[in-house]
Structure 1
Amino acid sequence: MVLERTSRPLTKLSFSGFKRSSSSMSVSSPPPTLLVQDGSYLQALSLKLSEAVSKAMLQPTGPVPVGELVGGRRPIPAGRGRALGLLIASELKACQNNPYLHKAILRSLRRPLSVLLSGLSALLLPLLSSPEFLSSSAPTVQVPNPNATQLHALAAADFAGELLETFDDMSLGLDNNARGDGLKAIREGLVSLIGRVVNPLIAGIKSELMPLLESLENPVAVAVAVPKTGTKAIHPSIVSLQAIMPVYARALARYTAALPSQTTLATFLISIIWTALVAVANRPQVKASPPTSPLGSPQLTPLTKRERVTFGNTSPATPPPARFSLKLPPSRPSSPPCISVTPSAAADVRALHELMVLLPRPPAECDATRVAHEAVDEALSDLTALATLLETIGNPLFKVGKSREAILEEIEKITADLPTLIALPVLLRSYSRGTIESPSIPPISTIINVSEDEYRKSCLSGFGRAEQCSSIIGYSVLDFLRVQGGLQSLAAQWLVNRVDAVDH
């Protein structure tokens, strides 16, 4: 038996073929081995933390994926920040019953974490200053993924976000007291590092979205095929958003993986939703005109006198030359005729809402982001309320068989959560359109005697500012309607009730 065992080649017992590169540490890695809490525990812990920080910043080995190298370096693999946080959390949990040792461990964390923060900042400095970082700040359909420079910066931000998860779980860096854990500066530095990476990338997407959303204020006629007239036409900007919004949704989910970036995400979502509300609410009313004759349709006008005479003088015994020509089948069917249709504002808002819900939102199950999630949901509900109001106002059967009080009550129910300065222009256009004997209502900026740009910047810069200015502007509009003799209109009665509710 001994001879048989020794005669076998030793390579059969080698595990070299099963070795894997340690380029990235898995999230489900086993918990680190705890140190023995003896007299040299703190010294050994300091060495262990310094070694863990050095390994976290170490270059990964193994094959290099295509398009990941920047200056001969690879990005920080995912999971290393979480592994370092797991090591810190395990040592802190092991001494919870010993407050003195717990404070000593917190003091031991300051130096290695400060070295880590300095290393991450030094790593980011050339990346953020590189022209490649902002050369394509917003993804496109052709190039949906970040380039190598952006990938390195996002990897550093993800590392900081993973480490901050441990800070949140262990409540580290939250105490403003000088006698606290002393990690507040580390926490703020990690949060700032994430913002330096994420904020420019989100700003690039916002700069591409804003012109498309602002153009929704201008009604544009689109060509619709006659067999498809039953389908609702949409604004050309909505068509562009339908192509690019899924790309932006994936990019935003990648950018805002860290918890501190959820506040930036919520601010971005609320900002673009508010821009869309302002644009659609102030879209001028387009009067419905009879559709033009479809292109390619047969001529329905009567024949001229010359044509009638020529046709009448043709001898019936002489057949036309076309009778003897060979009739060939058409090579291809003729394209369907098109008519020009102006998309309705309500259809555009409905389509826009379907695109907005594709974007990621702050998680509702986390206490730190629950308020941000509710704020985004309220902004999305305003889009739905505006679409319902536009559909109700544009429905010719809305007022049929209803009393004035019932109509007003239904409109107040629809606009209960809608900002006053968003619903007001819609109702004023409905008032001017519905009353024949009254003059048309000018824009709100003309009523309050300011320019349109100043009104947009001063009063329509956001949800909060619009709420602050709603009472003053409401009284100014009521004074104007009083002079015009339109206080009995539906819009005036709605505005009186809204202003009184705000004041009381």
Structure 2
Amino acid sequence: MISFKHPNPFRPNSRPTSPNPPSRPEPAMVLERTSRPLTKLSFSGFKRSSSSISISSPPPTLLVQDGSYLQALSLKLSEAVSKAMVQPTVPVPVGELVGGRRPIPAGRGRALGLLIASELKACQNNPHLHKAILRSLHRPLSVLLSNLSALLLPLLSSPAFLSSPAPTVQAPNPNATQLHALAVASFAGELLETFDEMSLGLDNDARGDGLKAIREGLDSLIGRVVNPLIGGIKSELMPLLESLENPVAVTVPKTATKACLHPSIVSLQAIMPVYARALTRYTTALSSQTTLATFLISIIWKALVAVANRPQVKASPPTTPLGLSQLTPLAKRQHTTAGNTSPATPPPARFALKLPPSRPSSPPGISVTPSAAADMRALHDLMVLLPRPPAECDATRVAREAVDEALSDLTALATLLENIDNPLFKVGKSREAILEEIEQITADLPTLIALPVLLRSYSTTESLPIPSISSIINISEDEYRKSCLSGFGRAEQCSSIIGHSVLDFLRVQGGLQSLVARWLANRVDAVDH
């Protein structure tokens, strides 16, 4: 059919033009398009507006790769491993150089992991090629692990690595040696993210991917860096937490409005934010979250044991100026004699002009012993500042729950101490109501933590001398702490035996009808059954 580009001048304008008939694709052309190989250039992306049939090409199928692909992939992975260890070209501060080398920049381990993940995801539908790619990962990753170990060994053996194991307020950042070691651990942690995403190195079977040794090696690198640094923080915290067991009288102004705290709590308030930032930096890898959870649970347990065994000290009366009634007889006679004699001639300085002092004198202070409940509340607020294992990850959900339960024990002990020290706690309540409320407060609290608090309250209110738990079970205090109070699990195991021993002691003393005896009997029965 012939169509003119310009309208015909001999055709009248009143005659309407007929539309062009729709063009339909010929069957031969369709067959020619579908039979074309997929490696040829296809025009299927262009859509003809006049066509009523849409031609869609089938998705390309992955061809079985030959040996040249695997060889090229091995070269590509080896090159990526070499680039990951190359020194960065960007300038860094002089204080971060160790032996003229710069620390490994952040993100290189993640970039290498993305390359490995992309190659593995591209062959998910081809199990034979997938296994071949896994075998090709062994050599470059083994070389990478050896290079990281060789880079880390002189850093860990350097005296500068543990010269300041814990950060301080004056030096909150790690030194250059620690910074290089943390960079190696961060690189290993980033690469392990890909291992976790692709489930690599989890099979103990030799017929699996064979990357379990690589995973364990990367985990070992992280532990060799992180564990000493966290241990340094723990060694600084433990003495402060242990000192909470000893009540200390502090001097505060009479006009003070805030609750006074133990000197160790005051020290922790200054250093705990520094430790929180350091721990966040140390535990970026997922494998280090278990170490973090163990550290948090250990320091929380140490605080619970210390505060629960603090002796109950009554608040000392405020000091008053020494009056005439408090003078000794000799001082009274001197005071009377001085009042009867004629006044002596005042010195010349008496008539000098007295100027006001440049600095007003501070008001006199009073000696106050901080309460255990206030210290426990303040300690809980400080513990919350520390990082915790993530709750949204399946691998760390159990560790997060354990840490949260330990933190809830701090709150429960603070509530118990507040109620025990409150003289209005038992006013207007029956013994059954008081017992029920105590059981609700101590429902999740370990028995060996709540027991000394209740025993001290029982001996104070009912005037019966109650010795320490170690004396009741006839062992030394140090042996009791090491054998029965070494952790949450050990305390739970020993709670039944120690509970029966304390009940037998109360039976001899004739105090089986007391609140603490009834509470302990209920706890022991619950453990036995």
For Structure 1 versus Structure 2, the TM-score category normalised by the shorter chain is 0.7 to 0.9
Deviation, 1:103, is 0.7
- The separation in 2 between residues aligned to 1:157 and 1:32, in whole angstroms, is 41
Which secondary structure does the structure 1 equivalent of 2:356 belong to?
coil
Aligned residues: 500
Deviation, 1:287, is 2.5
Question: Contact 1:295 / 1:337 at 8 angstroms: preserved in 2?
Answer: no
Which secondary structure does the structure 2 equivalent of 1:418 belong to?
coil
**What is the match of residue 55 of structure 1?**
83
**CA pair 269-317 structure 1, distance change in 2 beyond 3 A:** closer
2:93 aligned to which of 40, 57, 65? 65
Question: Contact 1:273 / 1:379 at 8 angstroms: preserved in 2?
Answer: yes
- The separation in 1 between residues aligned to 2:180 and 2:323, in whole angstroms, is 57
- The separation in 1 between residues aligned to 2:414 and 2:41, in whole angstroms, is 71
Moved more, 59-68 or 301-310: 301-310
Deviation, 1:63, is 2.0
Deviation, 1:310, is 6.6
Question: Contact 2:103 / 2:183 at 8 angstroms: preserved in 1?
Answer: yes
For 1:372-416, what per-residue CA distance to the aligned partner results, in whole angstroms no more than 9, with x for missing partners? 111100000000000000000000010100000000000000000
- The separation in 2 between residues aligned to 1:419 and 1:362, in whole angstroms, is 23
For 1:302-338, what per-residue CA distance to the aligned partner results, in whole angstroms no more than 9, with x for missing partners? 9966677678668999999999664543433211111
Question: Contact 2:152 / 2:184 at 8 angstroms: preserved in 1?
Answer: yes
For 1:65-89, what per-residue CA distance to the aligned partner results, in whole angstroms no more than 9, with x for missing partners? 2211112211111100000000000
Moved more, 64-73 or 139-148: 64-73
**CA pair 281-308 structure 1, distance change in 2 beyond 3 A:** closer
Question: Contact 2:496 / 2:527 at 8 angstroms: preserved in 1?
Answer: yes
- The separation in 1 between residues aligned to 2:313 and 2:468, in whole angstroms, is 15
Deviation, 1:25, is 48
Question: Contact 2:377 / 2:414 at 8 angstroms: preserved in 1?
Answer: yes
Which secondary structure does the structure 2 equivalent of 1:410 belong to?
helix
- The separation in 1 between residues aligned to 2:82 and 2:281, in whole angstroms, is 26
Question: Contact 1:295 / 1:339 at 8 angstroms: preserved in 2?
Answer: no
Question: Contact 1:24 / 1:78 at 8 angstroms: preserved in 2?
Answer: no
For 1:10-52, what per-residue CA distance to the aligned partner results, in whole angstroms no more than 9, with x for missing partners? 9999999999999999999999999995551100000000000
For 1:220-260, what per-residue CA distance to the aligned partner results, in whole angstroms no more than 9, with x for missing partners? xx676665555455111111111111111111001001110
Question: Contact 2:117 / 2:198 at 8 angstroms: preserved in 1?
Answer: yes
**What is the match of residue 184 of structure 1?**
212
- The separation in 2 between residues aligned to 1:235 and 1:36, in whole angstroms, is 72
Question: Contact 1:92 / 1:105 at 8 angstroms: preserved in 2?
Answer: yes
Deviation, 1:419, is 0.2
Which secondary structure does the structure 2 equivalent of 1:303 belong to?
helix
Deviation, 1:91, is 0.5
Moved more, 471-480 or 282-291: 282-291
Question: Contact 1:226 / 1:336 at 8 angstroms: preserved in 2?
Answer: no
Which secondary structure does the structure 2 equivalent of 1:134 belong to?
coil
1:228 aligned to which of 254, 265, 279? 254
**CA pair 26-120 structure 1, distance change in 2 beyond 3 A:** farther
Question: Contact 2:316 / 2:367 at 8 angstroms: preserved in 1?
Answer: no
Moved more, 332-341 or 85-94: 332-341
Question: Contact 2:87 / 2:104 at 8 angstroms: preserved in 1?
Answer: yes
Q: Which has the larger radius of gyration?
A: 2
Question: Contact 2:254 / 2:364 at 8 angstroms: preserved in 1?
Answer: no
**CA pair 73-367 structure 1, distance change in 2 beyond 3 A:** same
- The separation in 2 between residues aligned to 1:267 and 1:20, in whole angstroms, is 67
Question: Contact 2:254 / 2:365 at 8 angstroms: preserved in 1?
Answer: no
Moved more, 39-48 or 391-400: 39-48
**CA pair 398-9 structure 1, distance change in 2 beyond 3 A:** same
- The separation in 2 between residues aligned to 1:388 and 1:28, in whole angstroms, is 71
- The separation in 1 between residues aligned to 2:60 and 2:396, in whole angstroms, is 30
Question: Contact 1:49 / 1:112 at 8 angstroms: preserved in 2?
Answer: yes
Which secondary structure does the structure 2 equivalent of 1:283 belong to?
coil
For 1:194-218, what per-residue CA distance to the aligned partner results, in whole angstroms no more than 9, with x for missing partners? 0011001100110110010001001
Q: Indicate whether 1:276 and 2:312 are aligned.
A: no
For 1:421-480, what per-residue CA distance to the aligned partner results, in whole angstroms no more than 9, with x for missing partners? 000000000000xx6665311110010011111111110000000000000000000001
Question: Contact 1:161 / 1:190 at 8 angstroms: preserved in 2?
Answer: yes
Which secondary structure does the structure 2 equivalent of 1:166 belong to?
helix
Deviation, 1:129, is 1.0
Deviation, 1:341, is 0.7
Deviation, 1:486, is 1.1
Moved more, 454-463 or 33-42: 33-42
Question: Contact 1:238 / 1:352 at 8 angstroms: preserved in 2?
Answer: yes
Question: Contact 2:156 / 2:225 at 8 angstroms: preserved in 1?
Answer: yes
**CA pair 463-22 structure 1, distance change in 2 beyond 3 A:** farther
For 1:243-281, what per-residue CA distance to the aligned partner results, in whole angstroms no more than 9, with x for missing partners? 111111111001001110000000000000000000000
**CA pair 304-444 structure 1, distance change in 2 beyond 3 A:** closer
Question: Contact 2:252 / 2:368 at 8 angstroms: preserved in 1?
Answer: no
**CA pair 5-322 structure 1, distance change in 2 beyond 3 A:** farther
**CA pair 309-298 structure 1, distance change in 2 beyond 3 A:** closer
- The separation in 2 between residues aligned to 1:210 and 1:24, in whole angstroms, is 80
Question: Contact 1:242 / 1:355 at 8 angstroms: preserved in 2?
Answer: yes
- The separation in 2 between residues aligned to 1:28 and 1:341, in whole angstroms, is 86
**CA pair 329-464 structure 1, distance change in 2 beyond 3 A:** same
RMSD over equivalenced CA pairs, Å: 10.2
Question: Contact 1:29 / 1:83 at 8 angstroms: preserved in 2?
Answer: no
Q: TM-score, normalised by structure 1?
A: 0.87
**CA pair 24-299 structure 1, distance change in 2 beyond 3 A:** farther
Question: Contact 1:31 / 1:87 at 8 angstroms: preserved in 2?
Answer: no
1:144 aligned to which of 156, 172, 176? 172
Moved more, 48-57 or 38-47: 38-47
Question: Contact 1:161 / 1:259 at 8 angstroms: preserved in 2?
Answer: yes
**CA pair 391-60 structure 1, distance change in 2 beyond 3 A:** same
Q: Which aligned segments of 4 or more residues in structure 1 are displaced greater than 2 angstroms?
A: 1-39, 222-233, 293-332, 435-439
Q: TM-score, normalised by structure 2?
A: 0.83
Moved more, 478-487 or 286-295: 286-295
Deviation, 1:291, is 2.0
Question: Contact 2:44 / 2:56 at 8 angstroms: preserved in 1?
Answer: no
- The separation in 2 between residues aligned to 1:150 and 1:82, in whole angstroms, is 21
**CA pair 441-232 structure 1, distance change in 2 beyond 3 A:** farther
**CA pair 39-297 structure 1, distance change in 2 beyond 3 A:** farther
Moved more, 13-22 or 191-200: 13-22
**What are structure 1's unaligned runs of at least 5 residues?**
none
After TM superposition, the structure 1 = structure 2 runs for residues 8-19 of structure 1, keeping only pairs within 5 Å, are none
Question: Contact 1:448 / 1:476 at 8 angstroms: preserved in 2?
Answer: yes
